Protein backbone atom coordinates (compact mmCIF):
# COMPACT_ATOMS: atom_id res chain seq x y z
CA UNK A 1 0.00 0.00 0.00
CA UNK A 2 1.35 3.42 -0.92
CA UNK A 3 0.39 6.27 1.40
CA UNK A 4 0.91 9.98 0.75
CA UNK A 5 -0.49 11.99 3.63
CA UNK A 6 0.75 15.48 2.73
CA UNK A 7 0.18 17.36 -0.52
CA UNK A 8 -1.30 20.62 -1.85
CA UNK A 9 -3.90 21.53 -4.45
CA UNK A 10 -4.63 24.89 -6.04
CA UNK A 11 -6.96 25.60 -3.11
CA UNK A 12 -3.72 26.71 -1.38
CA UNK A 13 -0.29 27.10 -3.00
CA UNK A 14 -0.26 23.95 -5.13
CA UNK A 15 -0.74 24.21 -8.87
CA UNK A 16 -3.11 21.30 -9.64
CA UNK A 17 -6.89 21.38 -9.35
CA UNK A 18 -8.35 18.57 -7.20
CA UNK A 19 -9.36 16.32 -10.09
CA UNK A 20 -5.89 16.50 -11.67
CA UNK A 21 -4.24 15.92 -8.30
CA UNK A 22 -6.27 12.78 -7.65
CA UNK A 23 -5.71 11.55 -11.21
CA UNK A 24 -1.96 12.00 -10.76
CA UNK A 25 -2.11 10.14 -7.43
CA UNK A 26 -3.87 7.23 -9.16
CA UNK A 27 -1.25 7.26 -11.94
CA UNK A 28 1.50 7.12 -9.29
CA UNK A 29 -0.27 4.13 -7.69
CA UNK A 30 -1.03 5.99 -4.47
CA UNK A 31 -3.61 3.96 -2.52
CA UNK A 32 -4.29 6.44 0.29
CA UNK A 33 -4.00 10.21 -0.14
CA UNK A 34 -4.52 13.16 2.17
CA UNK A 35 -4.80 16.59 0.57
CA UNK A 36 -3.44 18.92 3.23
CA UNK A 37 -3.84 22.47 1.98
CA UNK A 38 -2.57 25.34 4.13
CA UNK A 39 -5.27 26.35 6.64
CA UNK A 40 -8.17 25.38 4.36
CA UNK A 41 -10.44 22.41 3.72
CA UNK A 42 -11.97 23.80 0.54
CA UNK A 43 -10.43 20.99 -1.55
CA UNK A 44 -12.95 18.69 0.10
CA UNK A 45 -15.88 20.69 -1.23
CA UNK A 46 -14.82 19.76 -4.74
CA UNK A 47 -13.93 16.09 -4.52
CA UNK A 48 -15.81 13.90 -6.94
CA UNK A 49 -16.09 10.48 -5.22
CA UNK A 50 -16.36 8.76 -8.61
CA UNK A 51 -13.09 10.30 -9.79
CA UNK A 52 -11.43 9.26 -6.53
CA UNK A 53 -12.51 5.63 -7.00
CA UNK A 54 -9.08 4.01 -6.80
CA UNK A 55 -7.59 6.43 -4.31
CA UNK A 56 -8.82 6.43 -0.74
CA UNK A 57 -8.96 10.01 0.53
CA UNK A 58 -8.19 10.85 4.16
CA UNK A 59 -9.47 14.35 5.02
CA UNK A 60 -6.57 16.53 6.15
CA UNK A 61 -5.24 20.05 6.60
CA UNK A 62 -1.87 21.74 7.26
CA UNK A 63 -2.32 24.39 9.95
CA UNK A 64 0.16 27.25 10.34
CA UNK A 65 1.24 28.19 13.86
CA UNK A 66 4.35 29.41 15.64
CA UNK A 67 6.69 28.10 18.27
CA UNK A 68 9.33 30.33 19.88
CA UNK A 69 8.78 33.00 17.18
CA UNK A 70 9.36 30.46 14.43
CA UNK A 71 6.75 29.33 11.88
CA UNK A 72 5.71 25.71 12.44
CA UNK A 73 3.22 23.55 10.52
CA UNK A 74 0.91 20.98 12.08
CA UNK A 75 -1.04 18.48 10.02
CA UNK A 76 -4.53 17.47 11.07
CA UNK A 77 -5.12 14.02 9.58
CA UNK A 78 -8.36 12.06 9.41
CA UNK A 79 -10.50 14.89 10.72
CA UNK A 80 -14.29 15.07 10.39
CA UNK A 81 -14.93 17.65 7.72
CA UNK A 82 -18.23 18.97 8.96
CA UNK A 83 -17.12 19.25 12.60
CA UNK A 84 -17.60 22.67 14.19
CA UNK A 85 -14.04 22.64 15.63
CA UNK A 86 -12.56 22.16 12.15
CA UNK A 87 -14.80 24.90 10.79
CA UNK A 88 -13.83 27.24 13.63
CA UNK A 89 -10.14 26.60 12.99
CA UNK A 90 -10.42 27.24 9.28
CA UNK A 91 -12.43 30.45 9.82
CA UNK A 92 -9.89 31.79 12.35
CA UNK A 93 -6.91 31.01 10.13
CA UNK A 94 -8.59 32.42 7.02
CA UNK A 95 -8.98 35.78 8.74
CA UNK A 96 -5.41 35.61 10.07
CA UNK A 97 -4.15 34.82 6.57
CA UNK A 98 -5.96 37.81 5.07
CA UNK A 99 -4.66 40.19 7.74
CA UNK A 100 -1.20 38.74 7.32
CA UNK A 101 -1.32 39.28 3.55
CA UNK A 102 -2.04 42.98 4.17
CA UNK A 103 0.95 43.17 6.55
CA UNK A 104 3.22 41.39 4.05
CA UNK A 105 2.13 43.84 1.34
CA UNK A 106 2.96 46.79 3.65
CA UNK A 107 6.42 45.36 4.33
CA UNK A 108 7.03 44.84 0.63
CA UNK A 109 5.83 48.39 -0.06
CA UNK A 110 8.48 49.66 2.34
CA UNK A 111 11.01 47.58 0.42
CA UNK A 112 9.92 49.30 -2.81
CA UNK A 113 7.29 47.03 -4.34
CA UNK A 114 3.90 48.55 -5.16
CA UNK A 115 0.49 46.85 -5.37
CA UNK A 116 1.76 43.60 -3.88
CA UNK A 117 -1.59 42.66 -2.32
CA UNK A 118 -3.49 42.98 -5.60
CA UNK A 119 -0.62 41.29 -7.44
CA UNK A 120 -0.52 38.31 -5.07
CA UNK A 121 -4.32 38.04 -5.14
CA UNK A 122 -4.22 37.77 -8.90
CA UNK A 123 -1.98 34.70 -8.61
CA UNK A 124 -4.01 33.24 -5.76
CA UNK A 125 -7.33 33.48 -7.59
CA UNK A 126 -9.88 31.61 -5.46
CA UNK A 127 -7.16 30.00 -3.33
CA UNK A 128 -6.16 31.17 0.14
CA UNK A 129 -3.38 33.71 -0.32
CA UNK A 130 0.11 32.47 0.58
CA UNK A 131 3.69 33.67 0.34
CA UNK A 132 4.34 31.83 -2.96
CA UNK A 133 1.64 34.02 -4.55
CA UNK A 134 3.57 37.10 -3.45
CA UNK A 135 6.75 35.47 -4.76
CA UNK A 136 5.18 34.93 -8.19
CA UNK A 137 4.16 38.60 -8.38
CA UNK A 138 7.66 39.64 -7.28
CA UNK A 139 9.14 37.64 -10.15
CA UNK A 140 6.54 38.88 -12.65
CA UNK A 141 7.34 42.52 -11.86
CA UNK A 142 11.08 41.90 -11.96
CA UNK A 143 11.34 42.92 -8.29
CA UNK A 144 12.91 39.51 -7.61
CA UNK A 145 14.96 37.40 -10.00
CA UNK A 146 13.39 34.12 -8.94
CA UNK A 147 10.98 32.55 -6.45
CA UNK A 148 14.02 31.35 -4.52
CA UNK A 149 15.44 34.89 -4.35
CA UNK A 150 12.07 36.32 -3.31
CA UNK A 151 12.07 33.97 -0.31
CA UNK A 152 15.74 34.42 0.43
CA UNK A 153 15.60 38.22 0.55
CA UNK A 154 12.05 39.10 1.52
CA UNK A 155 9.67 36.27 2.43
CA UNK A 156 11.67 33.50 4.09
CA UNK A 157 12.26 32.78 7.78
CA UNK A 158 13.34 35.91 9.64
CA UNK A 159 12.83 38.24 6.63
CA UNK A 160 10.39 41.21 6.71
CA UNK A 161 7.64 39.33 4.83
CA UNK A 162 7.75 36.42 7.29
CA UNK A 163 4.80 37.65 9.36
CA UNK A 164 3.58 34.92 11.67
CA UNK A 165 2.34 36.18 15.01
CA UNK A 166 -1.23 36.24 13.69
CA UNK A 167 -1.64 32.46 13.56
CA UNK A 168 -3.45 30.59 16.33
CA UNK A 169 -1.12 29.12 18.95
CA UNK A 170 0.04 25.51 18.90
CA UNK A 171 -2.28 24.47 21.75
CA UNK A 172 -5.29 25.91 19.94
CA UNK A 173 -4.41 24.29 16.62
CA UNK A 174 -3.95 20.87 18.24
CA UNK A 175 -7.26 21.27 20.09
CA UNK A 176 -9.12 22.03 16.83
CA UNK A 177 -7.61 18.93 15.23
CA UNK A 178 -8.33 16.59 18.12
CA UNK A 179 -11.82 17.96 18.79
CA UNK A 180 -12.70 17.27 15.17
CA UNK A 181 -11.58 13.66 15.56
CA UNK A 182 -8.20 14.00 13.85
CA UNK A 183 -4.58 13.22 14.70
CA UNK A 184 -2.16 16.14 15.13
CA UNK A 185 1.12 15.47 13.30
CA UNK A 186 4.16 17.76 13.35
CA UNK A 187 4.96 18.48 9.68
CA UNK A 188 8.49 18.21 8.23
CA UNK A 189 10.40 18.47 11.57
CA UNK A 190 13.78 18.77 9.81
CA UNK A 191 12.75 21.80 7.73
CA UNK A 192 12.91 24.14 10.73
CA UNK A 193 16.71 23.89 10.76
CA UNK A 194 16.80 23.34 14.52
CA UNK A 195 19.61 21.89 16.56
CA UNK A 196 18.84 18.46 18.02
CA UNK A 197 18.28 20.01 21.46
CA UNK A 198 15.82 22.56 20.06
CA UNK A 199 14.03 19.95 17.98
CA UNK A 200 13.54 17.82 21.10
CA UNK A 201 12.24 20.89 22.95
CA UNK A 202 9.75 21.48 20.12
CA UNK A 203 8.64 17.83 20.20
CA UNK A 204 8.23 17.95 23.98
CA UNK A 205 6.07 21.10 23.80
CA UNK A 206 4.09 19.58 20.92
CA UNK A 207 3.45 16.40 22.95
CA UNK A 208 2.58 18.47 26.03
CA UNK A 209 -0.04 20.28 23.93
CA UNK A 210 -1.56 16.95 22.86
CA UNK A 211 0.33 16.28 19.60
CA UNK A 212 0.41 12.58 18.72
CA UNK A 213 2.46 12.18 15.56
CA UNK A 214 5.37 13.45 13.47
CA UNK A 215 6.39 13.16 9.84
CA UNK A 216 9.34 10.80 9.57
CA UNK A 217 9.45 11.06 5.78
CA UNK A 218 8.70 14.38 4.07
CA UNK A 219 9.61 15.21 0.50
CA UNK A 220 13.17 14.60 -0.60
CA UNK A 221 15.37 14.01 2.44
CA UNK A 222 18.65 12.25 3.19
CA UNK A 223 18.87 8.81 4.81
CA UNK A 224 20.62 10.34 7.82
CA UNK A 225 17.65 12.63 8.41
CA UNK A 226 15.23 9.72 8.06
CA UNK A 227 17.18 7.66 10.61
CA UNK A 228 17.27 10.59 13.04
CA UNK A 229 13.51 11.22 12.74
CA UNK A 230 12.73 7.49 12.95
CA UNK A 231 14.65 7.25 16.23
CA UNK A 232 13.00 10.38 17.64
CA UNK A 233 9.51 9.08 16.77
CA UNK A 234 10.28 5.83 18.62
CA UNK A 235 11.89 7.55 21.63
CA UNK A 236 9.06 10.05 21.97
CA UNK A 237 6.36 7.46 21.34
CA UNK A 238 4.95 9.46 18.44
CA UNK A 239 2.98 7.99 15.56
CA UNK A 240 4.90 8.27 12.30
CA UNK A 241 3.56 9.80 9.09
CA UNK A 242 4.89 10.18 5.58
CA UNK A 243 4.12 12.49 2.69
CA UNK A 244 5.60 14.11 -0.37
CA UNK A 245 4.54 17.72 0.43
CA UNK A 246 3.80 17.79 -3.30
CA UNK A 247 2.96 21.23 -4.72
CA UNK A 248 3.51 20.96 -8.47
CA UNK A 249 4.54 18.40 -11.12
CA UNK A 250 7.34 20.75 -12.22
CA UNK A 251 9.16 20.21 -8.89
CA UNK A 252 10.56 16.83 -9.90
CA UNK A 253 12.35 16.13 -6.62
CA UNK A 254 9.00 16.05 -4.84
CA UNK A 255 6.63 13.55 -6.45
CA UNK A 256 3.29 12.20 -5.24
CA UNK A 257 3.69 8.76 -3.66
CA UNK A 258 7.49 9.09 -3.60
CA UNK A 259 7.88 7.24 -0.28
CA UNK A 260 7.12 3.54 -0.58
CA UNK A 261 7.02 2.82 3.16
CA UNK A 262 7.93 3.95 6.67
CA UNK A 263 11.00 2.61 8.51
CA UNK A 264 10.10 -0.67 10.23
CA UNK A 265 10.61 0.61 13.79
CA UNK A 266 7.84 3.23 13.33
CA UNK A 267 4.18 2.97 14.31
CA UNK A 268 2.23 4.25 11.30
CA UNK A 269 -0.20 7.08 11.97
CA UNK A 270 -2.84 5.19 9.95
CA UNK A 271 -2.92 2.50 12.67
CA UNK A 272 -5.27 4.89 14.53
CA UNK A 273 -7.44 5.96 11.55
Interface residues with ligand AMP (CB under 6 A) are 13, 38, 64, 130-132, 147-148, 151, 156, 247
Choose the one of Mn ion, ligand AMP, none that binds residue 189, judging by a C-beta under 5 to 8 angstroms depending on kind: none
**Where in 68-87 is the site for Mn ion (CB under 5 A)?**
73
Select 98 or 208, whichever has its Cβ closest to ligand AMP.
98
d(CA 207, CA 220): 26
Kindly tell me which of 248 and 267 has the beta carbon lying closer to ligand AMP: 248
13 in contact with Mn ion (CB under 5 A): yes
Determine, following the binding rule CB under 5 A, whether residue 245 of this chain makes contact with Mn ion: yes
The residue (of 219 and 268) whose beta carbon lies closer to ligand AMP is 219
Of 164 and 236, which has the nearer Cβ to ligand AMP?
Answer: 164
Residue 215 is a binding residue for Mn ion (CB under 5 A):
no
Report the nearest approach of Mn ion to the CB of residue 8 (Å). 5
* Closest CB 14 distance from ligand AMP, rounded Å: 8
Distance CA 121, CA 249 (A): 22
Give residues in contact with Mn ion (CB under 5 A).
13, 62, 73, 187, 245
Amino acid sequence: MIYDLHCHSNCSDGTLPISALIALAAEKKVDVLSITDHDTLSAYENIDPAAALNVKIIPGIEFSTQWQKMGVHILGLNIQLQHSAAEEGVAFQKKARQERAEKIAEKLHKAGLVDALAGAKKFAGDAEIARPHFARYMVETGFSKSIEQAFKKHLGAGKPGDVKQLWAGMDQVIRWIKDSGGVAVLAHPHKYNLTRTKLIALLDDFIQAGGEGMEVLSGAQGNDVTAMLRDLSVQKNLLASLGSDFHSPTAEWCRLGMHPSLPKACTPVWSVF
